[in-house]
Amino acid sequence: MQVSMTVNGDSHSRDVEPRTLLVHHIREGVGLTGTNIGCDTSSCGACTVHVGGQSVKSCTMLAVQAEGESITTIEGLAETARADGIATGEQNWHPMQEAFQQCHALQCGYCTPGMVMAATSFLKENPTPTEAEIREGLEGNLCRCTGYHNIVKAVQSAAEGAS
Amino acid sequence: MIPAAFDYTVAENAEHAIQLLGEYGDEAKLLAGGHSLIPMMKFRLAAPTQLIDVARISDLSYIRQENGQVAIGAMTKHAELETNDVIAAACPILGHVASLVGDPSVRHRGTLGGTIAHSDPASDLPAAVLALGGTIVARGPNGQREIAATDFFTGYFESVLAPDEMIVEVKVPANTGGWNYQKFNRRAQDWAIVGVAVADGGKGVALVNMGSTPLRATAVEAALAGGGSVADAAELAAEGAVPPVDNNADASYRTHLAQVLTRRALEAAS
């Protein structure tokens, strides 16, 4: 069936099977492979994207459920920051991306797109979190390089930069 | 993992969803947030051939206080329960328990009606509704009926909901009496190995993952009502329960957990 959604500001209308998962639609239909598939069981958060501005695990949502929605993936995050006038650093990235780089908040990088998308959604809901709140806010995202310490520091740094 | 093939229809409103349930019969499932159903379909533990999407029925997403009750539309998301002022003022236990379901991304999608209908004994919110003495409002082709939460759950993933009925509302008494929720798990975002919800200063005590349904700990409630101490009442937490056995815990471990968590919850709530 036909499904239409906005991905990073661009309209995409495609014919999909109802059972097509949103993450497959984004990667294979829309062609944006920054969103990773990790566990495929809504545990690891590697596939986190924003649907209507809120973090969602795109392996546990059907593409047809996103009909009419506005999706942001890691590829479009910096552009949202530029539009909001909060892009920063040499790369003109989203402050969360900049903070991840500055704080060395990644090792292999596989969890990073999901971490960044979950963290930006979390800070919208809680702009001045404690360290403990950051850890709870990211509990749906797993890093198997045991990099949590610097990830938490990056989110703290991004929160402080925004306040 | 991809679910088995199915057809997908968006329900315009509750009446439309019920009409579609009648048309498609046993092969149909209602899809709300999908965070229980879609994983089951990906594992092929469920393979409905027709999904009826009810998540877009916006007039089933509301929270309002009326006549000493808090009425919550079935499509209200966990994240809304977590942050809603009416819930915080009138039945704070529900907001707190909602904040412990899964993780933030899951709570952006999961709905109260969905988690009740799914009837998983390991879910958090059904036990909170049980402890509060809530009511499930179900609508079918012949109209609406109210079901006490204590009568709603009948077995693993089973309830008294008829195949052509859907939950439209959950009602709980406005109650700010002493409350607490103890959730024991070993990993972030896991289901409770055992959970205990205490509402109204101990008048309502409900257990998570201690049987095939969420359970009222009636022996604990009766002991407290009869003037028993918290410590003595908590010892009765698992009375009548048949705890499940899985990789996390055997029955004796769960029985012990239920006693300890009930004591902690009662102490915190009193």
For residue A14, the domain's CATH number is: 3.10.20.30
Residues of the domain holding A144: 78-162
| Residue B149 included in any domain | yes
CA distance A163 to A144: 30
- Chain position carrying tokens 């300890």: B260
What percentage of chain B reaches a pLDDT higher than 70?
A: 100
Is B218 within the bounds of a domain? yes
Strand ranges (E), chain B = 7-10, 28-31, 50-53, 63-66, 69-73, 135-140, 143-148, 153-155, 158-159, 166-173, 180-184, 194-199, 204-208, 215-216
Q: Are residues B64 and B153 in the same domain?
A: yes
**φ/ψ (deg, to 5) at B120:** -85, 120
B185 touches chain A (CB under 8 A): no
Asked whether the predicted pLDDT for residue B86 surpasses 70, the reply is: yes
- Verify that B162 and B62 share a domain, yes or no: yes
B104 vs A51, A55, A67: nearest CB: A55
pTM (two decimals): 0.96
* In a shared domain, residues B65 and B162: yes
CA distance A17 to B2: 11
Over range A53-62, report the average pLDDT. Answer: 98
3-state helix, strand, coil in chain B (%, to 5): 35, 25, 40
Sign of CA dihedral B157, B251, A44, A98: positive
Do both A101 and A61 map to the same domain? no
**Can you give the residue range of the structural domain that contains B258?**
180-269
Per-residue pLDDT tens digits for B103-160: 999 999 999 999 999 999 999 999 999 999 999 999 999 999 999 999 999 999 999 9
> Residue A163's pLDDT band (boundaries 50, 70, 90)?
low
Cα separations in angstroms, A159 against A49, A57, A75, A163: 20, 23, 21, 6
| Domain identity same for B107 and B187 | no
B105 and A121 within 8 Å at the Cβ level: the answer is yes
Residue B119 covered by a domain = yes
Domain-terminating residue out of A75, A95, A120: A75
ipTM at complex level: 0.96
What H or E segment, with its residue span, contains residue B142? none
pLDDT of residue B189: 87
For chain A, the C-alpha Rg in angstroms (whole number) is 15
User: Which of A49, A75, A101 marks a domain boundary?
Assistant: A75
Q: Do B105 and A45 touch (CB under 8 A)?
A: yes
Interface mutation target, options B105, B111, B190, chain A, most CBs of A under 10 Å: B105
Give B192's DSSP letter.
Answer: P
Most B CBs within 10 A among A28, A139, A143, A148, hence the mutation to make, goes to A139
Interface with chain B: mutation pick from A37, A39, A40, A43, highest number of B CBs within 10 Å: A43
A64 and A89 share a domain? Answer: no
Query: What angle do helix axes B251-269 and B218-225 make, rounded to 10 degrees?
Result: 40
Question: Chain A to chain B, count of Cβ pairs less than 8 Å apart?
Answer: 82
Q: Measure the CA–CA gap between A119 and A116, rounded to whole angstroms.
A: 5
- Residues in chain A within 8 Å Cβ distance of B188: 139-140
